[in-house]
């Protein structure tokens, strides 16, 4: 295990958390997941490693049956801390009626609430070296070449966010990551979520992807930017019981012409490198540019979270090995690339609530889709 700013739930505590907090039969009331982090007391981080137990809302112990009370510590002695995360759902733009002739935009959700979110809040933009105050931006318009951070979506959905432009592992490479300069990428892709580019497993390979997304006025074929190439299938309940889920990414690719999209993150520039998940730590500052909330910053709360995510009509999916941050997103931001302040790619945003945002580790996205976002490893 790493120090108090990073690491994973010990195996014994993880197994106990799965069996006690997310038990298949009669699960604990309000519990939606758990992860590794630090314990908080009186609104302050103590630095003491803890198993964070995620609940939709905190309820006084006196109002809970004994079976639903989270123990003060795990059987191996690891302390616990209960964290209210609200109702976590996939964050593509929700279906709403558009006013004819206008681009529709969803108002930003409430800022992170509670003592943990307040204490982990990032500094103001003007206090951050190398960044300037960002005013409201219109990221729902059509643009070619399209920067990352703009509205995009399969013709079957509303709208999400174009995360980045990636390319196949270079042919002939013998290292991971491949050595720079070996071979020529066979294809270029836009990267976003499965539920943005593939409609939660339901879209066919080769189906059109438009920019901006349909909710923002994009229509096929005149606004087509890509076609669906491949995606990682998401397991949903009730079709598959939650305890059997093995979801680690919500990710998909659309084949794009080189000249139609760019690796530049709107306002922030291109990712200069990517980071292995072992080096992503609790407390790290992160940022993203997304279709709805534009440029936002936050801090990492957990780096190996297991959490249940609501996908509406598609069902509920349990994800493991996820990054949780303070709230940096709203509906329509799904697919945003999450980076460090110096543009090192860390994760792919896909879900959240008014309190937290949930992201896939970029290393998992990269390995499962077999694509490269940058030749540099940081």
Q: Is residue 147 part of a domain?
A: yes
Between 46 and 315, the higher pLDDT residue: 315
pLDDT at 322: 98
State the CATH number of the domain containing residue 289: 2.40.10.120
Residues 73 and 105 in one domain: no
For residue 126, name the pLDDT band (cuts at 50, 70, 90). Answer: very low
Q: Is residue 207 part of a domain?
A: yes
Residues 71 and 109 in one domain: no
User: Contact 39/30 with Cβ under 8 angstroms?
Assistant: no
pLDDT at 83: 92
Residues 158 and 256 in one domain: yes
Q: Is residue 180 part of a domain?
A: yes
Range 131-156 average pLDDT? 81
Question: Tokens 């077999």 map to which residue?
Answer: 370
Alpha helices in the chain (DSSP H): 11-20, 114-119, 194-197, 362-369
For residue 20, name the pLDDT band (cuts at 50, 70, 90). Answer: confident
Tell me the sheet residues that pair with 152. Answer: 160
CA–chain centroid gap for 136, Å, is: 22
Rounded CA-CA distance 288/39 in Å is 26
Residues 80 and 95 in one domain: no
Q: Is 228 exposed, middle or buried (0-12, 13-18, 19+ CB in 10 A)?
A: buried
Closest CA to 53 of 25, 77, 28: 28
pLDDT tens for each residue of 254-278: 999 999 999 999 989 999 999 999 9
Q: Is residue 159 part of a domain?
A: yes
pLDDT at 149: 97
Rounded CA-CA distance 192/165 in Å is 9
Residue that finishes a domain, picked among 84, 117, 146: 84
Between 109 and 82, the higher pLDDT residue: 82
Residue that finishes a domain, picked among 84, 104, 122: 84
Range 145-173 average pLDDT? 89
pLDDT at 106: 33
Q: Which residues contact 65 (CB under 8 A, 6 or more apart)?
A: 29
pLDDT at 7: 62
- Whole-Å CA distances, 156 to 196, 219, 348: 9, 11, 21
- Give the 3-state secondary structure of residue 335: coil
How many CA atoms within 13 Å lie on the side-chain side of 152?
39
Residue 371 scores a pLDDT above 60 = yes
Residues 197 and 63 in one domain: no
pLDDT at 16: 84
369 secondary structure, DSSP code:
H
- Number of domains comprising the chain: 2
Rounded CA-CA distance 75/69 in Å is 15
Residue 118 scores a pLDDT above 70 = no
DSSP letters for 78-90 = -BEEEEE----EE
Residue 133 scores a pLDDT above 50 = no
Range 316-341 average pLDDT? 96
Closest CA to 30 of 78, 85, 90: 85
Residue that finishes a domain, picked among 32, 51, 84: 84
Q: Is residue 217 part of a domain?
A: yes
- Name the percent of the chain lying above pLDDT 70: 80
pLDDT at 182: 55
Residues 63 and 100 in one domain: no
Rounded CA-CA distance 324/343 in Å is 18
Range 112-119 average pLDDT? 41
For residue 119, name the pLDDT band (cuts at 50, 70, 90). Answer: very low
Residue 354 scores a pLDDT above 70 = yes
Range 34-56 average pLDDT? 81
Residues 56 and 175 in one domain: no
Residues 59 and 108 in one domain: no
214 secondary structure, DSSP code:
G
- Whole-Å CA distances, 81 to 7, 45, 54, 67, 76: 16, 11, 9, 17, 15
Range 6-29 average pLDDT? 77
pLDDT at 326: 92
Residues 62 and 138 in one domain: no
For residue 45, name the pLDDT band (cuts at 50, 70, 90). Answer: low
Q: Is residue 224 part of a domain?
A: yes
Residues 112 and 147 in one domain: yes
Residues 68 and 217 in one domain: no
Q: Is residue 230 part of a domain?
A: yes
Lowest mean pLDDT among 31-35, 179-183, 368-372: 179-183
User: Contact 345/359 with Cβ under 8 angstroms?
Assistant: no
Rounded CA-CA distance 97/215 in Å is 9
pLDDT at 171: 53
Tell me the sheet residues that pair with 345. Answer: 274, 339
Residues 107 and 247 in one domain: yes
Between 355 and 114, the higher pLDDT residue: 355
DSSP letters for 318-361 = EEEEEEEEES---TT-TTPEEE-TT-EEEEEEEEE-SSEEEEEE
Enclosing domain of residue 66? 11-84
């Amino acid at each position: 295990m790493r120090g108090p700013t990073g690491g994973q739930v010990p195996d014994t505590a993880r197994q106990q958390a799965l069996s006690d907090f997310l038990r298949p039969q009669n699960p604990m009331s309000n519990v939606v997941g758990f992860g590794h982090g630090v314990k908080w007391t009186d609104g302050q981080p103590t630095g003491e490693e803890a198993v964070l137990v995620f609940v939709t809302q905190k309820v006084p112990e006196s109002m809970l049956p004994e079976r639903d009370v989270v123990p003060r510590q795990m059987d191996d002695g690891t302390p616990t801390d209960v964290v209210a995360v609200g109702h976590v759902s996939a964050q593509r733009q929700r279906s709403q009626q558009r006013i004819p002739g206008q681009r529709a935009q969803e108002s930003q959700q409430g800022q992170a609430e509670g003592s943990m979110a307040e204490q982990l809040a990032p500094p103001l933009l003007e206090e951050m070296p190398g960044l300037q105050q960002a005013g409201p931006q219109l990221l729902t318009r059509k643009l070619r070449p399209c920067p990352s951070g703009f509205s995009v979506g399969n013709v079957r959905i509303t709208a999400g966010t174009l995360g980045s432009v990636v390319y196949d592992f270079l042919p002939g490479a013998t290292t991971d990551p491949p050595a720079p300069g070996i071979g020529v990428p066979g294809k270029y892709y836009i990267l976003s979520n499965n539920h943005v580019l593939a409609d939660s497993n339901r879209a066919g390979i080769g189906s059109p992807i438009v920019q901006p997304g349909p909710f923002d006025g994009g229509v096929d074929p005149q606004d087509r930017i890509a076609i669906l190439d491949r995606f990682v299938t998401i397991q949903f309940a009730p079709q598959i019981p939650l305890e059997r889920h093995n979801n680690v990414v919500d990710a998909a690719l659309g084949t794009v012409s080189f000249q139609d999209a760019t690796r530049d993150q709107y306002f922030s520039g291109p990712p200069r490198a990517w980071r292995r998940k072992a080096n992503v730590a609790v407390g790290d500052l992160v940022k993203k540019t997304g279709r709805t909330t534009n440029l936002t910053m936050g801090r990492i709360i957990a780096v190996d979270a297991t959490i249940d995510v609501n996908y509406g009509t598609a069902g509920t999916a349990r994800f493991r090995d996820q990054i949780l941050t303070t709230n940096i997103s709203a509906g329509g931001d799904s697919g945003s690339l999450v980076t460090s302040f110096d543009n090192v790619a860390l994760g792919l945003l896909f879900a959240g609530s008014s309190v937290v945002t949930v992201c896939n580790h970029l290393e998992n996205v990269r390995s499962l889709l077999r694509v490269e976002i940058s030749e540099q490893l940081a």
